[in-house]
Amino acid sequence: MRTMLVAPLVATLVAPTCEVAPTGRETAPGLQLGYEIVGEYPHDYRAFTQGLFWHAGYLYEGTGQRGESQLRKVDIKTGEVTQQVSLDNTIFGEGIALLDGRIFQLSWLAKRGFIYDVDSFELLGEFHYDTQGWGLTTDGRHLIMSDGSEHLSFLDADTLQVVRTLRVYEDGRGVRNLNELEYIDGLLYANVWHSDDILRIDPDSGEVVDRIDFSGLMADRRPADSEAVLNGIAYNSNNGHLYVTGKRWPKLFEIRLVTR
């Protein structure tokens, strides 16, 4: 992480604490989706993937673990890291999102977020919050943040203050452990920590409209590390495909969603 901070932006986020309920396992009613693999690409097996998005032909990846956390720009086809910046060794990196030419990156327990210029990776400022930091995405107006609970926080992109919270539920029960996030065509997609499901969530009501089962990905090739779980969703708006990977996975998959 850079030690010099240019024109720092400091804000404090306040989100409600809540009691969370177990995750429902039944598939929610609605459109039932599966997937087809349309491409496989190399992925750095050392990368503890925490956040992922696609922009202008490249993947941008946020990685975790203290002493290993980075923001990276990655060539999709080769897996080569073409640009990177490291966080301080005390910081455990989490989710990332791009909005208005700025990349926002969360940390897990430090309650610090970092703001970078998308082109230069210059550190522009920091922001602060009172919850854990997990996943991050944007609907084009707000940053949307998960913290491991059943609630998502919508942040004003300029003040970085919480303007709305959303309870995510399925069959009436709150869904916790929402992790990496992606906003696609009016729905929120969310990894669930230690699950092979990706949820699709109505961002207005918080209802889980369906689950997509990705247990077939890397089914017999996953690393032995119990934390090497599915985590990472990026959307290519040019062709409508998803890029999906996991923590410490040696592969990145290009996915086309299909109706079962």
- Give the pair of three-digit tokens for residue 103: 């990349």
Report the candidate in 141, 125, 156, 119 with the shortest Cα–Cα distance to residue 2. 125
User: pLDDT value at position 12?
Assistant: 42
Strands of the sheet with 49-55, listed across from one edge: 49-55, 58-63, 70-74, 81-86
Report the candidate in 186, 149, 185 with the shortest Cα–Cα distance to residue 168. 149
User: pLDDT value at position 219?
Assistant: 82
Q: For residues 80 and 92, what is the distance between their CA atoms, to the nearest angstrom?
A: 22
List the chain pLDDT tens, one digit each, 260 residues. Answer: 333 333 344 444 433 333 333 333 334 444 578 999 999 999 999 999 999 999 999 999 999 999 999 999 999 999 999 999 999 999 999 999 999 999 999 999 999 999 999 999 999 999 999 999 999 999 999 999 999 999 999 999 999 999 999 999 999 999 999 999 999 999 999 999 999 999 999 999 999 999 999 998 988 888 888 888 999 999 999 999 999 999 999 999 999 999 87
Query: Could you tell me whether strands 151-156 and 251-259 are parallel, antiparallel, or unpaired per DSSP bridges?
Result: unpaired
What are the residue ranges spanned by the domains of the chain?
A: 46-259
CATH class of residue range 46-259 = mainly beta
The pTM of the full predicted model, rounded to 2 decimals, is 0.86
User: pLDDT value at position 19?
Assistant: 30
Please state the length of the chain: 260
User: pLDDT value at position 208?
Assistant: 96
Cα radius of gyration (the chain) = 17
